[in-house]
Amino acid sequence: MCGIIGYTGHRPATQIIIEGLKRLEYRGYDSAGVAFCLQNKVHVFKSQGKLNNLENKLCSQEIYLTTTGIGHTRWATHGLPTEKNAHPHLSQNKRFALVHNGIIENFKELKHYLKDKGIQFNSDTDTEVLVQLIFYYHEQGKSILDAIYETLNQVKGSYAFALIECAHPNTIWAGRHSSPLILGIGQGENFIASDIPAFLNYTREVIFLEDNEIVELTPSTYQIYSLKNKKGISRKVTTINWDIQSAQKSGYKHFMLKEIFEQPKVIQDCLRGRIDECENTVLFSELENFPLPARLNIVACGTSFHAGMWAKYILEQIAHIPVEVDIASEFRYRNPLINKNDVIMVISQSGETADTLAGLRLAKEKNAKVIGLCNVVGSSIAREADVVIYTQAGPEISVASTKAMCSQMIMLFLLSLYWGNKKQLLTPNFKSQYIAHLLELPEQIETNLQIFHQKANHLAPKYSWANSFFYLGRGLNYPLALEGALKLKEISYIHAEGYAAGEMKHGPIALIDPQFPTFALAPEDELLPKMKSNLEEVQARGGKIIALTNINSKLEVDDPWIIPNFKSPFISFLILPALQLFAYEMAVYLGKDVDQPRNLAKSVTVE
């Protein structure tokens, strides 16, 4: 998830674009760049790291004269966050510059095709194929618009892009498919951006471009075209009445809530390019030359550790790979026994967590092979692992991790299908069913999020008096119970303990009384009868119970939270947001600083 912006008008474009990029930095901040047309030449400025590095590069340049330009702030997905890979990318003849947000799935094939045509590439990004392909078709004599049509009809994946060409100094071309793109309409000036905050200071008149729409804008005109039939389209202008802050949260009250509601899109992005529906298989090109693990040792912290625990059940069931899961701060000092073909997987959203990084380095010292499952491209763990697999969650701003865990679970689920298939354990029917269920997940979660939010909103005031909570689950729901408890603790500051439900009677049940409620994860699966008796033990001691369950479970508890009856493990992707929303609403009800809870940091880089 990157941020792109374009401006054409009567004001100095540099200022507008830098200001806009600052407002889009929550979308990605590992490198940035701008491009302008001046004296029949495209001028590009790029820098690694924070935006002010770019600003320092710009200050002495005469480009302040130009009134048209494009800009980009990056969240790397393909190619390390270096200056070379920063956007804008130039065409071979240096007359086109392009910025892009999204993932071009078939970029490797397109790159090969263009290389055979003599096109040289300057970066490792997927994006560069877009500008080189437009240049290629333009060189064939096509108009810029036709070159864009031709290019986009070849592309698979998601994109929002903006393009300039030096022979047309006041024109910007832009288009989208699956990534957001908004047109800002001003008086004698027009804007294009990934999100409204980028230009909200200059206009509140916007058009939300739809998928497969292209727009050509100049200071005084804009024309939208359909990619499908190249015909002109007129679209309704919407007036935005948000302030900048809420606009960055897309109207959500907190980044945490926004990130919870982004999970359907995150799953779509994680599945993108990973499933070959014709062959009914899962693809991990990163693992082509990587040994099949005889045993897997997962090492992580916090929420990432819970994702690892969840994956243990999946990897053992589907791929028959024995899995051990370690808290990184324990792993690094317990002198773990690691055999020759053992594989260590370190999981980290930030890729910078000190204990997890130390776990990685220890494993390498012991000659183990290390897979890094990370969200931040180019992070330390990503760089030091033997192989890195990226979760496509986009930047996670809220300290409490939500969509990152969802993305980790999806990737680990895909890995279990990948290795299970490699070991020829999976029947064609099993594969096609599981792949079909995975592809349906985003929409099914989307449908339920609002309902879950209302339920959480209803339950929070009812349980806000509690000073402690138990979270109980069995099997796959045990690690999810741990995660539910962690979310409640870290943002509402209510004491909470996640427990394997069967373990309660070995001690913790002593704590149960009417003041100590329980949040039970009790979907209708083979362990429900066991969960039922554990909950009866809690009720027998006056404990109040909220239970996430299904309509047919007929669970008699204080507050049943009925969720659709998905089969395991798919139901985990419904249970997770329900847990997140309950913790969120409790914290909001108690007036806590949800996005920046006390005593916590987004990335724990110390021991």
Q: Considering the complex, what minimum distance in angstroms separates the CB of residue 398 from ligand AGP?
A: 8
> Within 423-566, where are the H helices?
428-463, 477-492, 528-539
Q: With respect to ligand AGP, which residue has the nearer C-beta, 399 or 512?
A: 399
Q: Considering the complex, what minimum distance in angstroms separates the CB of residue 381 from ligand AGP?
A: 8
Q: With respect to ligand AGP, which residue has the nearer C-beta, 99 or 382?
A: 382
37 classed as catalytic: no
Closest residue by Cα to residue 519 from 499, 503, 502, 537:
499
Q: With respect to ligand AGP, which residue has the nearer C-beta, 67 or 408?
A: 408
Contacts with ligand AGP by CB under 6 A lie at 301-304, 348-350, 353, 356, 399-401, 490, 603-604
Q: Considering the complex, what minimum distance in angstroms separates the CB of residue 539 from ligand AGP?
A: 31
Q: Considering the complex, what minimum distance in angstroms separates the CB of residue 442 from ligand AGP?
A: 22
Residue carrying the six token digits 């006390």: 598
Closest residue by Cα to residue 162 from 292, 25, 258, 34:
34
Rounded Cα distance, 300 and 353, in Å: 9
Rounded Cα distance, 331 and 495, in Å: 26
What region does 20 belong to: left with phi over 0, alpha with psi -120 to 50, or beta? Answer: alpha
Q: With respect to ligand AGP, which residue has the nearer C-beta, 90 or 389?
A: 389
Q: With respect to ligand AGP, which residue has the nearer C-beta, 350 or 416?
A: 350
DSSP state of 286: G
Secondary structure of the chain: what % helix, strand, coil (to 5)? 40, 25, 40
Q: Considering the complex, what minimum distance in angstroms separates the CB of residue 491 from ligand AGP?
A: 8
Q: Considering the complex, what minimum distance in angstroms separates the CB of residue 412 from ligand AGP?
A: 13
Token pair of 208 as six digits: 């939300």
Residues near 298 by beta carbon (within 8 Å), at least 6 away in sequence: 308, 309, 311, 312, 323, 324, 325, 326, 344, 345, 346, 347
Among the options 2, 166, 270, 406, which is catalytic? 2
Q: Considering the complex, what minimum distance in angstroms separates the CB of residue 251 from ligand AGP?
A: 23
Q: Considering the complex, what minimum distance in angstroms separates the CB of residue 188 from ligand AGP?
A: 46
First-residue to last-residue Cα distance in the chain = 30
Amino acid identity at 308: G
Q: With respect to ligand AGP, which residue has the nearer C-beta, 169 or 302?
A: 302
The answer to whether 267 and 441 have CB atoms below 8 angstroms apart is: yes
Amino acid identity at 404: A
The answer to whether 436 and 338 have CB atoms below 8 angstroms apart is: no
Q: With respect to ligand AGP, which residue has the nearer C-beta, 170 or 603?
A: 603
The answer to whether 477 and 574 have CB atoms below 8 angstroms apart is: no
2 classed as catalytic: yes
Residues near 406 by beta carbon (within 8 Å), at least 6 away in sequence: 263, 266, 267, 393, 573, 576, 577
Q: With respect to ligand AGP, which residue has the nearer C-beta, 214 or 301?
A: 301
Distance of CA 509 to the CA centre of its chain: 38
Q: Furthest-apart CA pair in the chain: how many Å?
A: 82
Residues near 108 by beta carbon (within 8 Å), at least 6 away in sequence: none
Q: By Cβ distance, which residue is nearest to ligand AGP?
A: 302
Q: Considering the complex, what minimum distance in angstroms separates the CB of residue 313 from ligand AGP?
A: 19
Q: With respect to ligand AGP, which residue has the nearer C-beta, 301 or 387?
A: 301
Q: How many CB atoms lie within 10 A of CB 23?
A: 22
Rounded Cα distance, 378 and 575, in Å: 31
Residues involved in catalysis: 2, 602
